[in-house]
Amino acid sequence: MAENEKQNGFMKLALYVVGAIATGYVFYKLWFLRAPTRKIPHDDNLFVSPANGKIIGIRKFNEASFIEAKNEPLTERGAFKLLASDVAGSGTIISIMLQVTDVHYQRACTSGIVLNTKHTAGNKDNAVMMPNEQISRYENEHNEILIQTDKGLKYKIVQIAGFVARQIDCYVRPQQLISQGQVLGIIKFGSQVTVILPESVTVVAKEGDYLIDGESVIGRIQ
């Protein structure tokens, strides 16, 4: 009797484990990897969001320094200057937080040509920002996609890994022509996406806004 109860307990545990794995697999395939159809504006005077998530920071940068809107210096200004230097001498950096439930594909803000991609190995620290922390996990593993628009403006999308995000996939290559809203890659699980825009793009999005990839307008050409 005791042996049967032991076997039954083992079978229940095994079924629970198999069920949990199956549920996780279904969630991953059908929910996490989903790619909903988006209403792309197809207007290259507009810059659409490269990611689905919440804006956690909007910061200005220039050649002299990288500063917050309230003129408080950030510890990561050197790193951001490095990230932004091949985009423009001045502009705006927007950091977008992706939760596990958000769509994790990244899209082109406008049509153009990919000038360069650059993958940098790094940490896999928690990408969730706490109050008074820096606005981006620039020290984490990340991939930069530098794009030039049909009007000659440059902008950059940075895919940033987090504690849960263990893989960054980039689907484009240098000299590849891309269209507005085209899927550029994916970060697997919760993470961050940073977009760097030149000064000639007027940012219309606000901190705290929840963005839809390929649909939400974050900026427009002046």
Share of the chain above pLDDT 70, in %: 65
- Residue pLDDT, tens place only, 175-191: 999 999 999 999 876 68
pLDDT of amino acid 18: 53
CA distance 165 to 15: 28
CA distance 218 to 33: 24
- pLDDT mean across residues, the chain: 79
User: Is residue 73 within 8 Å of 10, Cβ to Cβ?
Assistant: no
- Residue pLDDT, tens place only, 149-177: 999 999 999 998 865 545 889 999 999 99
CA distance 3 to 187: 48
Residue 72: phi, psi to the nearest 5?
-95, 130
Confidence of residue 112 (pLDDT cuts 50, 70, 90): very high
49 is catalytic: no
Torsion of CA 113, 91, 208, 211, to 10 degrees: -10
DSSP designation for 73: B
- Residue pLDDT, tens place only, 27-36: 555 456 778 8
Specify the length of the chain in residues. Answer: 222
Is 13 strand, coil or helix?
Answer: helix
CA distance 156 to 86: 9
Reference 141, options 86, 191, 104; nearest CA is 191
Q: State the catalytic residue, choosing from 49, 95, 111, 191.
A: 191
CA distance 125 to 75: 17
CA distance 51 to 136: 15
